[in-house]
Chains A and B, each alone.
Chain A
Amino acid sequence: MIRLLAAALLVLSSCSNSPEKARQNEPAAPKDTAYAVFTVEIKGMKFVPDSIVARKGDRVIFVNRDLVPHCVTELDSKAWTSHIIPPGEDYMHVVDSSSNYYCAIHKVMKGKIRVKE
């Protein structure tokens, strides 16, 4: 009986410890996960710059500097979208694959992200 209780306590304590242990066991971030951050300004109704070459995992921050709301939406299959970016606000996109994008509010505004290996 005592042995059973001890076992139960052990289980309990190991359970309560587990999240911390999991965190401790996480490998340190390898150096090659460091990412670059690009900024694309949306101004004068254009994406500036309208073409970016990045690596997978890099971040692209779209900043709306216009008077009107914009969005950034993947063009070909609508795979990702910022939804509405009000004036003065921004949106961060994590680069996953090469994409052509456009503003679904002003469909003539376009840009692209190319992924280099």
Chain B
Amino acid sequence: MSKKIMSWAYCAMAASLFLSTNASAQSTPKLSDPEIASVAVVANQNDIGFAGIAQKHSKNADILNFAKTMATDHKAVIDQAVALVKRLGVTPKDNAVSKKMLADAEKTNASLRTKSGKAFDKAYIDNEVAYHKAVISAVEGVLIPQAQNAELKALLEKVDPILKTHLEHAEMVQSSLK
């Protein structure tokens, strides 16, 4: 697939993930800091969930190594986010975006669990590529610009390069499977 089509596909996917939560489906969601914190935690938890399934369903060394990195790094990010909201006295608040992300992840989990072998490896890593693209686009397009608290914004800015490195790593594994 050409780069152009890929990037179009990912934009469409990011848009469906983060914009279609509104009935109007046209405006960027407006999130408060407690809602941003909730989205951040759910986004990381989802990827830990995918990694857990990979650790059970895959025998491929590159997939297992990648999944282990995802579990470790996204846990580290959650720990930082939880420590920050505690310090700030903020309680993460469920919202349309975090609920949609959770519901989508449950569908992905169900689909991944039906697969094994090479079909699983491909489905898992394809999802990792798409998921990281969507989360990066949300972090850069919605969460960082809308975060009011400077420390929350700074944490999101530190998380962004982690996600980009994961994406690059996922793409490397994805092309090695072909």
Contacts and interface: CB of A to CB of B under 8 A. Distances in A.
B76 A108 contact: no
Interface residues of A, number: 14
A45 B72 CA distance: 15
Interface in A67-117: 67-69, 87, 104-109
B162 A66 contact: yes
Interface of A: 44-46, 66-69, 87, 104-109
Contact of A107 (B73, B162, B164, B172): B172
B77 A109 contact: no
Shortest beta-carbon contacts, A-B, top 5: A45-B165, A68-B73, A108-B168, A45-B161, A44-B161
A69 B159 CA distance: 13
A107 B164 CA distance: 13
Contacts of B77: 67-68
Given A44-B161, A67-B162, A105 B172 contact: no
8 contacts: A45-B164, A45-B165, A46-B161, A104-B65, A105-B69, A106-B165, A106-B169, A109-B165
B169 A68 contact: no
Contacts of B159: 67
B80 interface: yes
Contacts of A45: 161-162, 164-165
B59 interface: no
B72 A68 contact: yes
Contact of A69 (B65, B76, B161, B169): B76
Contacts of B113: none
